[in-house]
Amino acid sequence: MSCEMGCARAIENKLSKLDGMSKASVNFKEEMTTVKFDANKVDETLLISTVTSVSQTLSFSVEDFKMILETSKD
């Protein structure tokens, strides 16, 4: 397993454990992580600190954070 795959999985797993998180997907080639979450339970600060704390031996950073709000279609 390459670091790219293993690191992506580690970030996804860590994000998925957050209360209020419903989806986390990491794409290293596009340098993008997509998440779906309950904004009442998760915020930008928590997302960034979770990603940057995934590994004690590797360093991950968050740049160009963009939040796009979607409303559910009932």
Any alpha helices (H) in the chain, and if so which ranges?
3-16, 44-52
Q: What integer pLDDT is reported at residue 1 of this predicted model?
A: 44
- Decide if 25 is inside a domain: yes
- Decide if 20 is inside a domain: yes
Q: What integer pLDDT is reported at residue 23 of this predicted model?
A: 93
- Decide if 65 is inside a domain: no
How many domains is the chain built from?
Answer: 1
- Decide if 19 is inside a domain: yes
| Ordered per-residue pLDDT tens for the chain, 74 residues | 457 778 899 999 999 999 999 999 999 888 889 999 998 999 999 998 999 888 777 777 788 887 777 666 65
Task: For the full predicted model, state whether its pTM sits above 0.75.
Answer: yes
| Cβ-contact 35, 21 below 8 angstroms | yes
What CATH number does residue 31 fall under?
3.30.70.100
65 alpha-carbon distance from chain centroid: 11
User: Which residue range is the domain that position 26 belongs to?
Assistant: 3-52
